[in-house]
Structure 1
């Protein structure tokens, strides 16, 4: 907007960069990288490498590296905004004073266009006893000065599992509690089972299908009570049970901006709210919970406003990754979702034990799975759990976005030896689901 000559006021009440830079992608993936190095060092002998003594974790140095990477990103944003003509950066908490007016630090600002990109925060479920014990979120866990002796995690989905593996690799005892019958129930059962087995092999403990969850103070931390199983005596408790939008303190009522029952700002296909000239982007609109969907929100709004391009939020494909090691790359429908939608499907599978690149690297956990419509040969979705799965998935994602049939990928020639080179092979081995 500033580049087009418009005067822009940007209001930030906390740290520039939001969740991704400060408490999400940037710090957590930095920790994941440190944890991977620790695990590789433990496996050094498998590769013929001899290291003296046991692997140790210098948590202050791990944390200092994480903090430095975060600061570099945040400071870069501050410099960029501070040196861009037509942008005024205001630090404070803004609230609506009318449909096209907000107040911040006692100052009233009016504009024909207002963009809300206020993000979200960790949600705390109503667990009996939670008000009697200290507990952590994905944000506060990153601030610990010492490693937990035993980290109990309530929530066996994406955030919880990434932290579970990372802190287990840092030498902590880790127990994950999940109320659902299996981990990450959004995924197909074989994905959930494979990830559980992968993490159990590293020493992560699970209590799945948990009943009667309650917490209480313990002698050296927190006690997690579950029906029918022994208590979990943890030093630290992490809640990884979902997120909620930061929309409850913006004065939306004064502007006439509507929210749904979960607190998300309601938007149309162009991300405009119930008030013309006000748009909601990112986590707060309920149309995506990732940095890449938030950035795509920006692209949609900017193209529609500045370039007269008719873009809409439903143009994009659902895609994401679980950044365990190895990672899970996902796009489109799962097998269960495709069946529920009424598709007659073909399925292609290949275990990572039959992917040369994975064998050569000594990382053969996981598999490639592709779901194709048997009538149209359109690719409906895919999951790649395995080494470089978060990168290899993009070949399928791009083909799906282009609406190209599966046989196009089958005829493609990929580079050997890579993980991606086996995707055409999988396409040539599709079978009725």
Structure 2
């Protein structure tokens, strides 16, 4: 629909943004009988189907199959993986998502929105009004840190670039050791790129338990990835067709990549790194530029919502814009909370059981508190860990591949006063699936005694839950 055609139109609800939060919300409200307008400045459906979750998982699966094949033809395999990825995301064509929303009764307009009290301006040419609610679901965009020379230097990628392009660099540096950085490190290393991951924190996955980041580093090193933690990027300069990276004082730039005789032997100097491309994956920030939130009395730098995702009065925020559990499943959940509120069956949001997954091989799943976050809110904790490779399932798997040396472990975190599970962290084959019961256990505040008593299918990976649960239950009784 042309924005000009909507000038003066009135809706019960206007949703700005149609990603993993805005799309399901607008659809649910329209199905519930409300008149809804969804405004999108880019692709209907948001990032996840086109340049994030879906293409990254497609590339990870292709990478896994390529490693298993032992085929040395990396470039041909990468080209084939890109072709599969692009078919999977329908060439990043959003017409199917738009047709689905229209079919559910949502009015759609592709425009840039800015807000005023009671109204939304579309592309500066048309004004539409809401009577019940305005919902902001504009998502987040890649953070480009203030590193000297980073902006404007050719050869800088974000995850969007990596997951929509077809280039296989011989040398790829990745700035950031979070989920995105780790997943893309595995992809490119699997297809023959020499990958270096640069993380300023002491461990990868710095928001998780430290041992989990260490295990992730071990897993990536198995693939030949050079993992450098405690490393601050200080400068970026053009270097022929690539980039030259300089490190800050106190960083540890020396490589520990398996197979190198001496740290940094192929680099310009111990405090520099040459790469063909630098992929920046240090996090994302809410998209608020140009929205005009100040006109509603809102601070774009502090979009704090209440337990029903309300910013104020009739204005709500959901999805990555809120920075609360910035995952597709977190955005979907917040959409359901707001849909229930606007359809008259309101309930408070409970984010405690939202899982945090990394789809590397081995996979990671974490949920709830870490020891650090628990301490920050004054909770006393007890923890117990188990070696997942000690399960019968692992023994069976190793009869097929006796050289399988993927790291695998599990940690449970209990509240020492209440005896309930408040956090968990797992890494291992299929951990994103078998550890999922721990997300429900955290949300439901299941006691360690109940978790210890729960039988698990034999022989399954989930048997690994029993030993640390029983240990904690005994310690809580003593």
The residue that corresponds to 1:331 in the other structure is 367
The residue that corresponds to 2:309 in the other structure is 271
Question: Is 20-29 or 66-75 further displaced after alignment?
Answer: 66-75
Q: Secondary structure at the match of 2:186?
A: helix
Contact residue 257 and residue 265 of structure 1 kept, 8 A: no
Deviation at 1:203, TM superposition (A): 0.6
The residue that corresponds to 2:37 in the other structure is 9
Deviation at 1:74, TM superposition (A): 4.2
Deviation at 1:286, TM superposition (A): 2.6
Question: Does the C-alpha gap of structure 1 residues 41 and 264 become closer, same or farther in structure 2, counting only changes over 3 Å?
Answer: farther
Q: Secondary structure at the match of 1:313?
A: coil
Question: Does the C-alpha gap of structure 1 residues 23 and 398 become closer, same or farther in structure 2, counting only changes over 3 Å?
Answer: same
Contact residue 174 and residue 278 of structure 2 kept, 8 A: yes
Q: Secondary structure at the match of 1:143?
A: coil
TM-score (norm: length of structure 1): 0.90
1:152 to 163, 170, 173: 173
Contact residue 20 and residue 26 of structure 1 kept, 8 A: yes
Higher RCO, 1 vs 2 (CA within 8 Å, ≥6 residues apart): 2
Q: Which runs of 5+ in 2 are unaligned?
A: 1-28, 254-269, 399-403
Q: Which runs of 5+ in 1 are unaligned?
A: 43-52
Question: Is 70-79 or 419-428 further displaced after alignment?
Answer: 70-79
Aligned-pair Cα RMSD in Å: 2.2
Question: Does the C-alpha gap of structure 1 residues 171 and 296 become closer, same or farther in structure 2, counting only changes over 3 Å?
Answer: same
Deviation at 1:280, TM superposition (A): 0.9
Question: Is 172-181 or 226-235 further displaced after alignment?
Answer: 226-235
Q: Secondary structure at the match of 1:298?
A: helix
Q: Find out whether 1:259 has 2:299 as its counterpart.
A: yes
Deviation at 1:151, TM superposition (A): 0.6
Deviation at 1:80, TM superposition (A): 1.1
Matches within 5 A, 1:115-154: 115-134=135-154, 135-154=156-175
The residue that corresponds to 1:402 in the other structure is 444
Distance (Å, rounded) in 2 between the aligned partners of 1:212 and 1:384: 30
TM-score (norm: length of structure 2): 0.82
Distance (Å, rounded) in 2 between the aligned partners of 1:146 and 1:37: 19
Matches within 5 A, 1:283-294: 283-294=320-331
Contact residue 309 and residue 318 of structure 2 kept, 8 A: yes
Deviation at 1:222, TM superposition (A): 0.6
Deviation at 1:341, TM superposition (A): 4.4
Distance (Å, rounded) in 2 between the aligned partners of 1:37 and 1:74: 28
Distance (Å, rounded) in 2 between the aligned partners of 1:68 and 1:132: 32
The residue that corresponds to 1:248 in the other structure is 289
The residue that corresponds to 2:348 in the other structure is 312
Contact residue 153 and residue 237 of structure 1 kept, 8 A: yes
Matches within 5 A, 1:57-206: 57-71=76-90, 74-85=94-105, 87-96=106-115, 98-105=116-123, 106-112=125-131, 113-134=133-154, 135-206=156-227
Deviation at 1:356, TM superposition (A): 2.3
The Cα offsets for residues 18-68 of structure 1, whole Å up to 9 and x where unpaired, read as 1211221111111111111112223xxxxxxxxxx6354433321121122
The residue that corresponds to 2:419 in the other structure is 377
Runs of 4+ residues over 6 Å off in structure 1: none
Contact residue 385 and residue 410 of structure 2 kept, 8 A: yes
Distance (Å, rounded) in 2 between the aligned partners of 1:187 and 1:331: 9
Distance (Å, rounded) in 1 between the aligned partners of 2:351 and 2:195: 40
The residue that corresponds to 2:409 in the other structure is 367
Q: Secondary structure at the match of 2:418?
A: coil
The residue that corresponds to 2:46 in the other structure is 18
Question: Does the C-alpha gap of structure 1 residues 4 and 345 become closer, same or farther in structure 2, counting only changes over 3 Å?
Answer: closer
Question: Does the C-alpha gap of structure 1 residues 264 and 30 become closer, same or farther in structure 2, counting only changes over 3 Å?
Answer: farther
Contact residue 219 and residue 361 of structure 2 kept, 8 A: no
